[in-house]
Protein backbone atom coordinates (compact mmCIF):
# COMPACT_ATOMS: atom_id res chain seq x y z
CA UNK A 1 0.00 0.00 0.00
CA UNK A 2 1.21 3.52 -0.78
CA UNK A 3 0.66 6.27 1.81
CA UNK A 4 1.41 9.93 1.08
CA UNK A 5 1.24 12.44 3.92
CA UNK A 6 1.24 16.22 3.45
CA UNK A 7 2.02 18.34 6.52
CA UNK A 8 3.84 21.51 7.54
CA UNK A 9 5.59 19.34 10.19
CA UNK A 10 7.12 16.36 8.36
CA UNK A 11 9.25 15.66 11.45
CA UNK A 12 6.08 14.55 13.27
CA UNK A 13 6.23 11.30 11.30
CA UNK A 14 9.57 10.00 12.61
CA UNK A 15 7.71 7.30 14.61
CA UNK A 16 6.68 5.68 11.32
CA UNK A 17 10.26 4.34 11.12
CA UNK A 18 9.76 2.36 14.34
CA UNK A 19 8.19 -0.99 15.28
CA UNK A 20 5.54 -2.68 13.11
CA UNK A 21 5.07 0.15 10.63
CA UNK A 22 8.82 0.75 10.36
CA UNK A 23 9.36 -2.93 9.59
CA UNK A 24 6.51 -2.95 7.06
CA UNK A 25 8.20 -0.02 5.30
CA UNK A 26 11.56 -1.74 5.25
CA UNK A 27 10.08 -4.96 3.84
CA UNK A 28 8.17 -3.03 1.18
CA UNK A 29 4.63 -3.79 2.43
CA UNK A 30 4.11 -0.07 3.04
CA UNK A 31 5.46 2.74 0.84
CA UNK A 32 5.19 5.87 3.04
CA UNK A 33 6.10 9.27 1.56
CA UNK A 34 5.98 12.39 3.75
CA UNK A 35 5.80 15.79 2.04
CA UNK A 36 6.34 19.30 3.39
CA UNK A 37 3.41 21.50 2.33
CA UNK A 38 5.74 24.52 2.35
CA UNK A 39 7.59 23.17 -0.68
CA UNK A 40 4.51 24.26 -2.68
CA UNK A 41 4.70 27.90 -1.50
CA UNK A 42 6.40 30.60 -3.59
CA UNK A 43 6.93 33.53 -1.22
CA UNK A 44 9.96 34.30 0.91
CA UNK A 45 8.12 33.43 4.15
CA UNK A 46 6.70 30.18 2.74
CA UNK A 47 3.24 31.27 3.91
CA UNK A 48 0.58 28.56 4.30
CA UNK A 49 -2.13 30.46 6.23
CA UNK A 50 -4.20 33.62 6.16
CA UNK A 51 -7.01 35.29 8.12
CA UNK A 52 -10.51 33.77 7.84
CA UNK A 53 -13.15 35.39 5.63
CA UNK A 54 -16.08 36.47 7.79
CA UNK A 55 -13.77 37.25 10.70
CA UNK A 56 -13.12 35.28 13.85
CA UNK A 57 -10.05 34.08 15.68
CA UNK A 58 -7.21 31.98 14.26
CA UNK A 59 -5.95 31.40 10.77
CA UNK A 60 -7.06 29.23 7.85
CA UNK A 61 -4.76 27.26 5.52
CA UNK A 62 -4.56 28.89 2.08
CA UNK A 63 -5.86 26.81 -0.84
CA UNK A 64 -3.02 27.44 -3.34
CA UNK A 65 -0.23 25.33 -1.77
CA UNK A 66 -2.71 22.52 -1.10
CA UNK A 67 -4.00 22.61 -4.70
CA UNK A 68 -0.47 22.43 -6.11
CA UNK A 69 0.57 19.67 -3.70
CA UNK A 70 -2.44 17.50 -4.58
CA UNK A 71 -1.92 18.12 -8.34
CA UNK A 72 1.71 17.03 -8.12
CA UNK A 73 1.32 14.03 -5.81
CA UNK A 74 -1.91 12.76 -7.36
CA UNK A 75 -2.03 13.91 -10.99
CA UNK A 76 -5.20 13.16 -12.95
CA UNK A 77 -4.95 9.67 -14.39
CA UNK A 78 -6.06 6.08 -14.00
CA UNK A 79 -4.83 5.56 -10.45
CA UNK A 80 -5.90 8.14 -7.90
CA UNK A 81 -5.54 7.88 -4.13
CA UNK A 82 -8.31 8.20 -1.57
CA UNK A 83 -7.76 11.58 0.09
CA UNK A 84 -8.17 11.31 3.87
CA UNK A 85 -8.55 14.58 5.77
CA UNK A 86 -8.47 14.37 9.57
CA UNK A 87 -10.83 16.92 11.09
CA UNK A 88 -13.01 17.01 14.22
CA UNK A 89 -15.96 17.62 11.86
CA UNK A 90 -15.41 14.37 9.93
CA UNK A 91 -17.06 10.95 10.19
CA UNK A 92 -15.93 8.99 13.27
CA UNK A 93 -12.92 6.71 12.76
CA UNK A 94 -13.78 3.12 13.72
CA UNK A 95 -12.26 -0.33 13.37
CA UNK A 96 -14.63 -0.90 10.43
CA UNK A 97 -13.33 2.25 8.73
CA UNK A 98 -9.73 1.15 9.40
CA UNK A 99 -10.52 -2.14 7.64
CA UNK A 100 -12.09 -0.33 4.66
CA UNK A 101 -9.08 1.98 4.33
CA UNK A 102 -6.67 -0.99 4.69
CA UNK A 103 -8.24 -2.43 1.52
CA UNK A 104 -7.24 0.64 -0.57
CA UNK A 105 -4.07 0.64 -2.71
CA UNK A 106 -3.20 4.28 -2.10
CA UNK A 107 -4.11 6.79 0.63
CA UNK A 108 -3.19 10.47 0.68
CA UNK A 109 -3.46 12.17 4.09
CA UNK A 110 -3.79 15.96 4.27
CA UNK A 111 -2.88 17.35 7.70
CA UNK A 112 -4.57 20.65 8.47
CA UNK A 113 -3.38 23.03 11.20
CA UNK A 114 -4.86 26.21 12.68
CA UNK A 115 -8.63 26.49 12.06
CA UNK A 116 -8.41 24.07 9.14
CA UNK A 117 -7.92 24.07 5.37
CA UNK A 118 -9.88 26.42 3.06
CA UNK A 119 -12.98 24.32 2.29
CA UNK A 120 -12.59 24.69 -1.47
CA UNK A 121 -9.58 22.35 -1.38
CA UNK A 122 -11.64 19.30 -0.39
CA UNK A 123 -14.53 20.32 -2.67
CA UNK A 124 -12.20 20.58 -5.67
CA UNK A 125 -10.26 17.41 -4.86
CA UNK A 126 -13.57 15.51 -4.60
CA UNK A 127 -14.17 16.16 -8.33
CA UNK A 128 -11.20 13.92 -9.19
CA UNK A 129 -10.62 11.52 -6.28
CA UNK A 130 -12.60 9.89 -3.45
CA UNK A 131 -12.39 11.90 -0.23
CA UNK A 132 -13.01 10.92 3.42
CA UNK A 133 -13.10 13.54 6.15
CA UNK A 134 -12.43 11.61 9.36
CA UNK A 135 -12.58 12.46 13.07
CA UNK A 136 -10.77 10.55 15.81
CA UNK A 137 -13.33 11.57 18.41
CA UNK A 138 -15.13 14.42 20.09
CA UNK A 139 -12.07 16.42 21.07
CA UNK A 140 -9.86 18.91 19.25
CA UNK A 141 -6.20 18.27 18.43
CA UNK A 142 -3.79 21.01 17.41
CA UNK A 143 -3.55 19.54 13.91
CA UNK A 144 -4.05 16.44 11.81
CA UNK A 145 -0.55 14.97 12.31
CA UNK A 146 -1.25 12.92 15.43
CA UNK A 147 -4.55 11.75 13.94
CA UNK A 148 -2.64 10.49 10.88
CA UNK A 149 -0.17 8.61 13.09
CA UNK A 150 -3.11 6.94 14.85
CA UNK A 151 -4.88 6.04 11.61
CA UNK A 152 -1.68 4.80 9.96
CA UNK A 153 -1.06 2.39 12.82
CA UNK A 154 -4.67 1.16 12.96
CA UNK A 155 -4.79 0.69 9.16
CA UNK A 156 -1.22 -0.60 8.75
CA UNK A 157 -1.59 -3.46 11.22
CA UNK A 158 -4.58 -4.77 9.20
CA UNK A 159 -2.56 -5.09 6.00
CA UNK A 160 -1.78 -8.78 5.41
CA UNK A 161 1.79 -9.58 6.43
CA UNK A 162 2.29 -6.56 8.72
CA UNK A 163 1.41 -8.48 11.92
CA UNK A 164 2.98 -11.84 12.67
CA UNK A 165 0.64 -14.86 12.69
CA UNK A 166 0.87 -14.96 16.47
CA UNK A 167 -0.80 -11.56 16.78
CA UNK A 168 -4.11 -12.32 15.13
CA UNK A 169 -6.45 -9.34 14.82
CA UNK A 170 -9.59 -11.51 15.13
CA UNK A 171 -9.70 -11.28 18.96
CA UNK A 172 -9.17 -7.50 19.14
CA UNK A 173 -11.81 -5.28 20.66
CA UNK A 174 -14.22 -4.27 17.85
CA UNK A 175 -12.86 -6.91 15.43
CA UNK A 176 -15.55 -7.94 12.90
CA UNK A 177 -17.11 -11.25 13.92
CA UNK A 178 -17.39 -12.45 17.50
CA UNK A 179 -15.82 -9.28 19.00
CA UNK A 180 -17.91 -6.78 17.06
CA UNK A 181 -19.20 -4.14 19.52
CA UNK A 182 -17.30 -5.81 22.39
CA UNK A 183 -14.28 -4.69 24.42
CA UNK A 184 -11.58 -7.28 24.98
CA UNK A 185 -11.45 -8.62 28.56
CA UNK A 186 -8.43 -8.84 30.90
CA UNK A 187 -5.25 -10.75 29.97
CA UNK A 188 -2.63 -12.50 32.14
CA UNK A 189 0.82 -14.08 31.86
CA UNK A 190 3.28 -15.81 34.23
CA UNK A 191 3.79 -15.99 37.16
CA UNK A 192 0.51 -17.67 38.24
CA UNK A 193 0.54 -15.70 41.53
CA UNK A 194 1.91 -12.16 41.76
CA UNK A 195 1.65 -10.01 44.91
CA UNK A 196 -0.92 -12.47 46.24
CA UNK A 197 -3.06 -12.08 43.14
CA UNK A 198 -3.77 -15.35 41.36
CA UNK A 199 -4.51 -15.69 37.66
CA UNK A 200 -8.15 -16.86 37.19
CA UNK A 201 -7.99 -20.62 37.58
CA UNK A 202 -9.97 -21.36 34.45
CA UNK A 203 -7.14 -19.96 32.31
CA UNK A 204 -4.82 -22.67 33.71
CA UNK A 205 -7.39 -25.45 33.17
CA UNK A 206 -6.55 -26.32 29.57
CA UNK A 207 -10.31 -26.49 28.87
CA UNK A 208 -10.47 -24.43 25.68
CA UNK A 209 -14.26 -24.34 25.48
CA UNK A 210 -14.57 -23.09 29.06
CA UNK A 211 -11.80 -20.54 28.49
CA UNK A 212 -13.53 -19.16 25.38
CA UNK A 213 -16.79 -18.90 27.36
CA UNK A 214 -14.99 -17.09 30.24
CA UNK A 215 -13.32 -14.65 27.84
CA UNK A 216 -16.63 -13.83 26.24
CA UNK A 217 -18.27 -13.29 29.65
CA UNK A 218 -15.44 -10.96 30.69
CA UNK A 219 -15.76 -9.04 27.39
CA UNK A 220 -19.51 -8.64 27.96
CA UNK A 221 -18.93 -7.47 31.56
CA UNK A 222 -16.24 -5.00 30.62
CA UNK A 223 -18.35 -3.62 27.78
CA UNK A 224 -21.33 -3.19 30.14
CA UNK A 225 -19.10 -1.34 32.62
CA UNK A 226 -17.13 0.92 30.24
CA UNK A 227 -19.29 1.28 27.13
CA UNK A 228 -22.89 0.31 27.93
CA UNK A 229 -24.12 1.95 24.71
CA UNK A 230 -22.19 -0.68 22.71
CA UNK A 231 -24.29 -3.53 24.13
CA UNK A 232 -27.33 -2.18 22.33
CA UNK A 233 -25.44 -2.61 19.07
CA UNK A 234 -24.70 -6.31 19.62
CA UNK A 235 -26.27 -8.44 16.91
CA UNK A 236 -29.11 -10.36 18.68
CA UNK A 237 -28.40 -13.26 16.30
CA UNK A 238 -24.96 -13.58 17.81
CA UNK A 239 -26.16 -13.66 21.43
CA UNK A 240 -26.60 -17.09 22.96
CA UNK A 241 -28.56 -18.10 26.09
CA UNK A 242 -25.51 -17.80 28.30
CA UNK A 243 -24.68 -14.27 27.02
CA UNK A 244 -28.05 -13.03 28.23
CA UNK A 245 -27.32 -14.11 31.80
CA UNK A 246 -24.00 -12.24 32.04
N1 LIG B 1 -7.80 17.49 13.97
C2 LIG B 1 -8.10 18.19 15.07
N3 LIG B 1 -8.88 17.51 15.90
C4 LIG B 1 -9.10 16.30 15.30
C5 LIG B 1 -9.85 15.14 15.64
N6 LIG B 1 -10.56 15.06 16.78
N7 LIG B 1 -9.85 14.12 14.79
C8 LIG B 1 -9.17 14.18 13.64
N9 LIG B 1 -8.46 15.24 13.26
C10 LIG B 1 -8.42 16.29 14.07
CA angle in degrees (0–180, nearest 5) for 28-34-36: 165
Segments forming the whole domain that contains residue 241: 170-246
137 is an annotated ligand-binding site residue: yes
CA of 142 to the centre of ligand 1 (A): 8
Q: Can you give the CATH number for the domain in which 88 is found?
A: 3.40.1280.10
Q: How many helices (H) and strands (E) does the chain have?
A: 8, 9
CA of 221 to the centre of ligand 1 (A): 30
By alpha-carbon position, which residue is closest to atom 4 of ligand 1?
Answer: 88
Statement to judge: residues 178 and 94 lie in one domain = no
Structural contact between residues 2 and 105, judged by C-beta atoms closer than 8 angstroms? yes
Cα(20)–Cα(31) distance, integer angstroms? 13
Q: Which of 10, 52, 63, 88 is catalytic?
A: 88
pLDDT in tens, 177-196: 878 889 999 999 999 999 99
14 Cβ neighbours under 8 A, 6+ residues apart: none
Q: How many domains does the chain have?
A: 2
Please tell me the distance between residue 238's alpha carbon and the centre of ligand 1 in angstroms: 34
Contact 177, 234 (CB under 8 A): no
Model pTM greater than 0.90? yes
Is residue 54 classed exposed, middle or buried when 0-12, 13-18 and 19+ CB atoms within 10 A define those classes?
exposed
Residue range 50-55: average pLDDT? 98
> Considering Cα of 102, then 107, then 111, then 116, what sign does the dihedral take?
negative
Same domain as 221, residue 177? yes
- C-alpha to C-alpha distance for 72 and 4, rounded to whole angstroms: 12
The answer to whether 229 is a known catalytic residue is no
Looking at the fold, whether 75 and 195 belong to one and the same domain comes out as no
The reply to whether ligand 1 has any atom less than 6 angstroms from the CB of 142 is: no
The residue to mutate among 140, 149, 152, having the most atoms of ligand 1 within 8 angstroms of its beta carbon, is 140
Could you report the per-residue pLDDT of 199-234, keeping only the tens digit for each? 999 999 999 999 999 999 999 999 999 999 999 988
Residue ID of nearest Cα to ligand 1 atom 6: 88
Amino acid sequence: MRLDIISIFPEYFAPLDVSLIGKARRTGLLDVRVHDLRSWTHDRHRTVDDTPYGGGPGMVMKPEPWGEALDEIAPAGDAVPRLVVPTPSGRPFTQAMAAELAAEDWLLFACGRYEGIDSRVVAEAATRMPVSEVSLGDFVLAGGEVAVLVMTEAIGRLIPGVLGNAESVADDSFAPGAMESLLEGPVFTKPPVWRERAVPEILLSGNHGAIARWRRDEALRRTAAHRPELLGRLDPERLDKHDRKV
